[in-house]
Amino acid sequence: MPMNATGVSHIAICVRDLDVSLKFYCDVLGMSIVSDVIQDTTTGGLPHVYAHARATRRQVRLAYADGAKPTLTMTSHPDENPDGTPIKLDQVGISHISFSVPDPRALAGSLSDQGVPLAAPMDVWANADGQVGSFYVYDPDGILVQFDAG
């Protein structure tokens, strides 16, 4: 039986420091907070989907526009450090998140001017005509974030 999905509800990433990540995703990229809650991770099905026992998690949902779906859900675990490292495009797992934007080149320049590290020099992303259809940056945890022309 097919799942009959109606869409993707959210994409979730675990971050080391939620406040640092919020500065990047909200202050730099312009996303807005939809919700910010502390959850008990010792009940229900949550203990079964964690690598380690965790007491709580802070979960913040972000939207790239009013009412937009999917949302980006970021989690952290107060007073506990997550383990692991971000992966690259050729590794198993969710390798990056991507946003469609009207002018990738202009955004890349703006982000670079703000000190956001591009995943490669700007000229790598440009075609023979100097147009940029897509580029990647690293978020504060080293997670790849792509921006493309859609």
How far apart (Å, rounded) are the C-alpha atoms in residues 50 and 48? 6
Q: What does the pLDDT read at residue 23?
A: 97
Give all domains of the chain, ordered by start, each with its CATH number: 7-81 (3.10.180.10), 85-150 (3.10.180.10)
99-135 confidence digits (pLDDT tens): 999 999 999 999 999 999 999 998 899 999 989 999 9
Q: What does the pLDDT read at residue 44?
A: 85
Give the chain's residues under pLDDT 70: none
Closest alpha carbon to 27 in 95, 105, 134, 116? 116
Q: What does the pLDDT read at residue 142?
A: 94
